[in-house]
Amino acid sequence: MEQDKDAELKTRLNQETSKLRWTELQRHYAGGNVVAVDETLDLIAVAVAIARDDAAAVKKWMADGRLARVSDIQAAAWLQVDLEMWAVVVKPWVLVQRVERVAGMSGLH
């Protein structure tokens, strides 16, 4: 039953994932709600973990430096090139990951 819920959540989040330019994410960043997901992680798996409140996984990724709020330095660099990002919302967070790093992910449109 729990696996069915996770599969349904994963499918829904995958369908809600889209490519956005960094300039389109500025207002979310200004609100402190944008979280960068390292390219070594599966964006959808991270979104599911956050939605499921999997504190252990989230804390580990944060401790490893693979999940963190976007820093001012990152934001400025991304703004200069208007970087294209994969983005998915897990309220109140907007999870982002660089597009070119995610090209091998299955199922993302």
Domain borders along the chain are 2-100
Share of the chain above pLDDT 70, in %: 90
Give this prediction's pTM: 0.86
CA angle 93, 66, 52 (to 5 degrees): 45
The string of pLDDT tens digits covering residues 72-81 is 999 999 999 9
